[in-house]
Amino acid sequence: MARQRIPVVLVTGFLGAGKTTVLNHLLANRKGARVGVVVNDFGRVNVDALAVAGQVDTMVSLGNGCLCCAVDASGLDAMLGRLSRPEAGIDVIVVEASGIAEPRDLLRLMIASENPDIRYGGLAEVLDAAEFEPTRARHPELTEHLRIADLVILNKADRVDAGNLAKVRATVEEFAPGVPLLVTDHGRVEPELFFDPRPRESYGQLSFDDLRADEHDHSRHLHTQYESVTFTADRPLSPRRFLAFLEQRPPGLYRVKGQLDLGSADTRSRFGLHTVGAFVQLDRSAWPPGPRRTELVLIGAGIDADAVTRRLEACLADDDTPDERGLLRILRYLDEPAAED
Ligand SMILES: Nc1nc2c(ncn2[C@@H]2O[C@H](COP(=O)(O)OP(=O)(O)OP(=O)(O)O)[C@@H](O)[C@H]2O)c(=O)[nH]1
Give me the CATH number covering residue 249.
3.30.1220.10
Q: Is the domain of 151 the same as that of 25?
A: yes
Same domain, 77 and 153: yes
Q: State whether 306 and 334 are in the same domain.
A: yes
Q: Ligand 1 centroid to 246 CA: how many Å?
A: 35
Q: How far is the CA of 328 from the centre of ligand 1 (A)?
A: 47
- Residue bearing the bigger pLDDT, 172 or 27: 172
pLDDT at 213 over 50: no
Amino acid 214: pLDDT: 38
What average pLDDT does this structure show over 245-253? Answer: 95
Same domain, 258 and 273: yes
Domain co-membership, 174 together with 232: no
Mean pLDDT of 159-177: 97
Is 274 found in the same domain as 201? Answer: no
- On whether both 138 and 241 belong to a single domain, the answer is no
Q: Which of 163, 188, 220 is the last residue of a domain?
A: 220
Residue 101 CB–ligand 1 contact under 6 Å: no
- Could you tell me how far CA 14 lies from the centroid of its own chain? 20
Residue 44 confidence class, pLDDT cut points 50, 70, 90: low
Cβ–ligand 1 contact at 46 (below 6 Å): no
Task: Read off the CATH number of the domain in which 26 is found.
Answer: 3.40.50.300
Task: Give residue 109's identity as a one-letter amino acid code.
Answer: L
Which residue, 172, 190, 220, sits at the end of a domain?
A: 220
99 lines ligand 1 (CB under 6 A): yes
| Residue 202 forms part of a structural domain | yes
64 pLDDT more than 60: no
Cβ of 256 closer than 6 Å to ligand 1, yes or no, is no
Query: Is the pLDDT score of 28 beyond 90?
Result: no
What is the model's pLDDT at position 43? 54
Give 210 or 259, the one with higher predicted confidence: 259
What pLDDT, on a 0 to 100 scale, did the predictor assign at position 47?
57
End-to-end CA distance of the chain: 5
**Segment 333-339 mean pLDDT:** 69
Q: How far is the CA of 1 from the centre of ligand 1 (A)?
A: 42
Report the pLDDT value the prediction gives residue 313, as an integer from 0 to 100: 98
Q: Indicate if the pLDDT at residue 150 is higher than 60.
A: yes
Residue 267 lies in a domain: yes
**Distance in Å, CA 126 to ligand 1 centroid:** 10
Question: ipTM above 0.90?
Answer: yes
- Specify the pLDDT at position 78: 78
Residue 211 sits in the same domain as residue 236: no
The reply to whether ligand 1 has any atom less than 6 angstroms from the CB of 21 is: yes
Distance (Å) from CA 50 to ligand 1 centroid: 20
Determine the structural domain holding residue 30 and report its residue range. 6-220
**Ligand 1 centroid distance, CA of 217 (Å):** 20
Task: Say whether pLDDT at 235 is over 60.
Answer: yes
Residue owning the nearest CA to atom 5 of ligand 1: 186
Q: In what order do the strands lie in the sheet with 181-183?
A: 59-61, 35-39, 92-96, 6-13, 118-128, 151-155, 181-183
* Contact call for residues 153 and 22 (beta carbons, < 8 A): yes
Q: Which of 15, 20, 25 to mutate to test the pocket of ligand 1 (most atoms within 8 A of CB)?
A: 20
**Better pLDDT: 320 or 291:** 291
Say if residues 203 and 210 touch (Cβ distance below 8 Å): yes
10 Å CB burial of residue 214 (0-12, 13-18, 19+) is exposed
Mean per-residue pLDDT of the chain? 83
Q: What spacing in Å lies between the alpha carbon of 22 and ligand 1's midpoint? A: 9
Q: Are residues 196 and 265 in the same domain?
A: no
Residues 216 and 243 in one domain: no
Residue 12 Cβ < 6 Å to ligand 1: no
Answer whether residue 81 shows pLDDT above 50: yes
Residues 190 and 241 occupy one common structural domain: no
State the average pLDDT over residues 242-253: 95
Question: Given the DSSP bridges, would you call strands 181-183 and 227-233 parallel, antiparallel or unpaired?
Answer: unpaired
206 CA distance to ligand 1 middle (Å): 30
Say how many CA atoms lie within 13 Å of 64 toward its Cβ.
0
Rounded-to-integer distance, Cα 161 and Cα 295, Å: 42
**Could you tell me whether strands 294-300 and 253-261 are parallel, antiparallel, or unpaired per DSSP bridges?**
antiparallel
Can you list the alpha helix ranges (DSSP code H) found in 29-72? 47-52, 67-70
Answer yes or no: is 21 within a domain. yes
> Is residue 1 assigned to a domain?
no
pLDDT-derived band of residue 97, with 50, 70 and 90 as boundaries? confident
Average confidence (pLDDT) over 128-144: 94
Buried b (16+ CB within 10 A) or exposed e, 129-160: bbbbeebbeeeeebeebbebbbbbbbbbbeeb
Tell me what pLDDT residue 59 has: 60
Residue predicted with more confidence, 136 or 218: 136
Among protein residues, the one whose CA lies closest to atom 13 of ligand 1: 18
Angstrom distance (rounded) from CA 92 to CA 210: 20
Of the candidates 212, 224, 159, the one whose C-alpha atom is nearest the C-alpha of residue 188 is 224
Residue 294 placed within a domain: yes
Pocket test of ligand 1: the residue of 15, 20, 21 to mutate, having most ligand atoms within 8 Å of its CB, is 21
Question: Bigger pLDDT: 4 or 50?
Answer: 4
* Ligand 1 atom at minimum distance from 22 CA: 15
Q: Tell me, yes or no, whether 212 and 263 share the same domain.
A: no
